[in-house]
Chain A
Amino acid sequence: MSTEEILVGAVAYDAKVVPIWDGIRAHFREEGVAMDFALFSNYERQVDELLAGHIDVAWNTPLAHVRVQKRTEGRSRSLGMRDSDRDFHAKVIVRKDAGISSLEGLAGKTLAVGSRDSTQARILPLHFLKEAGIDVTQVKQLAFDTDLGKHGDTGTSELDVLTALKDGRAQAGVVGDLIWVLEQAAGRIDTSVLEPLWTTPGFDHCMFDALPTLAEPKVQAFQRGLFAMKWENPKHRRILELEGLKEWLPAREAGYASLRAALDAIDYW
């Protein structure tokens, strides 16, 4: 690996990942930061390659992030996150005609859930339901295990959940609050049919991870390039819109404890 160029790994969860990273690379070069990217087809491979030292930085889902931290015994470095990665929630959405007025009412009903590696559409909502005292074995799960390896990035399984709710194949479903609100804001939710029942506690989402051995100048160059992207700059804005953020923010670690607890409980490390 080049001693100067920073090699960033990202998962190609969508065709738009190529223009996103082409754009970020062009921006980094304008900032005088030599950066290139490598695309992986799934997060498990990306984490392995980071740990093997084949890439400098990995743009990771929360699941990949906590796995990197565990496998580096907490010594990995977190370099930054999106504004939209902070204070994420999951929602339990119900059909209004299902007669579910509390979490206890889920018993015996069909609950649509997203991919088993999706933090917001499966792992954490089920974890928080258990924490709230709900026996999820009493709930019939209708699972949409689409795009495995992408950790829910595509959002496909969340849209599958909403479609199943709309069609009446499920009386309840879990999705991230981001998709729930964005779909509503775009006018694609019939609020006479669906309503939110419950909101989980908050948790944080994606993170740029690096090995503890990454040279300090590279860390600083990467963060300088990242934080120089501005929403008001037309070239940057295109990329930020595609990547789903308005501003890159410094890393914070407080928002991943619930995910670690969930992974312990279901043994999904």
Chain B
Amino acid sequence: MTDTPAAIAVDTGDLPLGGGLLAIVRPALDRLAHGGVLAVLSSSRAARDDLSTWCRIERHEHSCLTDENGRDRHLITRGALGVPRGVREHDVTLPQRVDPLTGRPRITSADVLAAAPFPARADRSTGLAPRGARVEPGGPEYPFALVERDRVAPPEVAQLFDQATSSQWDASRDIPWGDVRPLHPALEAAIGQVMTFLAENELSALYVPSRFIARIHPAYAEVAMFLATQMADEARHIDVFLKRARAAGGGLGVSSATSSRSLLSLFDPEDFTEASFLLSVLGEGTFLDLLRYVEEHAPDAATAEIARRTRVDEARHVHFGVAHVRHALSTDEALHRRLEDAVRRRAATLHDLASVPAPIHDALTVLAAGSDEPRAIARGHERYRALLDDMHEGRIKRLITAGFSPEQAQALSDLHTPNFM
């Protein structure tokens, strides 16, 4: 079914061409294909010649007859130039779903995607036209690199975007800051160090996706939109971690050269899937276990809430990364090898990074210990060692979910950076 009639008639009353007539004629012509005929009934004497001139400029054929009542009947046959490509959207009415919390109707992005699905390939000459719009030919090509659905747009992305937009929170208001009390100095310093490390890593998670947004063809806009929510999440995380570091006098800790080198290598991949794999599946995935650890050993409710809220956001980022990689792996046999190579290349550039950066290693130990008393530290050390095991196991599970074999997952997890991200 199409919505392209062969002929349309409109009545433009006594409107002159420059007084509103075109606002009736142009949209009517827009519904016609090349060769379609528009009849314009007009009693404007001025429009008689002006419409003919306008048709000459626009390359439509024009003829005009005057009827017995003195009204003009213009017949305009749509010319071939500038006819937008594609078929006008029809029968699209988005469902309204009752929000279980508010009882109000919602229109979700998942339903938008269902109504206007991703094309398998996108055309660079459609520029920034939203998916579903008809595009007038003759526009410039845009330099979008990501033009294949299976490389960029997993089907879950719209749902994740819906989740992201409804899960935004406020780092100023939504943390029980009133609960923060000065801690034992060693513990407060450890908190400052953990927060410094987290914020530094979050900055990489803010910057790395930003490199890819402008490469994504707007046919897959939901991916760019999801990454925008991810960046807003990371901005909030950076903010909340630095607030916690300074909330009770601990102040910031040290940024180690090891972290810095590890994070710099996240900027290497020029391929979106590789970058998403390294950052989200491996890096942010590992951070889920780290944030759970911080929450578990948090010395106050504010710190626990910070870790909990950031972990919920991170779980979404990881979900997108895993979905993206799983979708890409399922359609491209050679991708397993490319992603493995990306991990190996990164490991090779970081080969002298043998262990977790000392400042974060120590701070996580003190955090779990709750103090710097030796017996407590021994306990904290145990917990820290268990964290490393948890991280390894978590990575293997996520790699298997993403589509790797258990053997591949084991090998890739072993090669992952000791910096966690």
A residues touching B (Cβ–Cβ < 8 Å)?
83-84, 86-87, 89, 91, 177-178, 180-185, 187-189, 191-192, 195-196, 199, 231-234, 237, 246-247
Contact = CB atoms under 8 A, between A and B. Distances in A.
A189 B15 CA distance: 13
A231 B17 contact: no
A185 B58 CA distance: 11
Contacts of A178: 53, 57
B49 A177 contact: yes
A180 B53 contact: yes
B16 A195 contact: yes
B57 A233 contact: no
B138 A237 contact: yes
A234 B140 contact: yes
A16 to B, nearest CB: 18
B161 to A, nearest CB: 32
Nearest to B51: A181
Interface in B19-73: 19, 22, 46, 49-50, 53-54, 56-57, 59
A267 B262 CA distance: 85
Contacts of B137: 232
Contact of B53 (A177, A187, A234, A246): A177
A181 B53 contact: yes
Given A189-B18, A199-B49, 9 more contacts: A84-B56, A91-B49, A180-B53, A181-B17, A181-B54, A182-B57, A191-B19, A191-B46, A234-B125
Contacts of B49: 89, 91, 177, 196, 199
Interface in B145-194: none
Interface of B: 16-19, 22, 46, 49-50, 53-54, 56-57, 59, 81-82, 125, 137-141
Contact of B18 (A83, A89, A177, A184): A184
A56 B53 CA distance: 33
B53 A231 contact: no
A231 B50 contact: no
B54 A185 contact: yes
A232 B46 CA distance: 32
8 contacts: A178-B57, A184-B18, A184-B50, A189-B18, A191-B16, A191-B17, A191-B18, A232-B138
Contacts of A234: 125, 138-141
Contacts of A196: 46, 49-50
Contacts of B139: 234
Top 7 closest pairs, chain A to chain B, by CB: A184-B18, A191-B19, A237-B138, A189-B18, A191-B16, A232-B137, A177-B53
Nearest to A183: B18
Contact of B22 (A185, A188, A199): A185
Given A184-B18, A191-B46, A246-B59, A89 B53 contact: yes
Contacts of A232: 81, 137-138
B17 A185 contact: yes
B53 to A, nearest CB: 4
Contacts of A187: 18
A195 B46 contact: yes
A232 B81 CA distance: 7
Contacts of A184: 16-19, 22, 50
A237 B136 CA distance: 12
A182 B140 CA distance: 24
B25 to A, nearest CB: 10
A231 B138 contact: yes
B138 A87 contact: no
A84 B17 CA distance: 19
A84 B57 contact: yes
A122 B360 CA distance: 84
A25 B169 CA distance: 58
B46 to A, nearest CB: 5
Nearest to A187: B18
Contacts of B53: 89, 177-178, 180-181
Contacts of B56: 84, 86-87
Given A177-B49, A196-B50, A185 B18 contact: yes
Contacts of B17: 181, 184-185, 191
B369 to A, nearest CB: 66
A91 B52 CA distance: 13
Nearest to A232: B137
B143 to A, nearest CB: 13
B20 to A, nearest CB: 8
Contacts of A177: 49-50, 53
Nearest to A195: B46
Contacts of A188: 18
A189 to B, nearest CB: 4
Contacts of A247: 59, 81
A233 B137 CA distance: 8
Contacts of A195: 16, 46
Contacts of B140: 234
B222 to A, nearest CB: 27
Contacts of A191: 16-19, 46
A26 to B, nearest CB: 15
B52 to A, nearest CB: 9
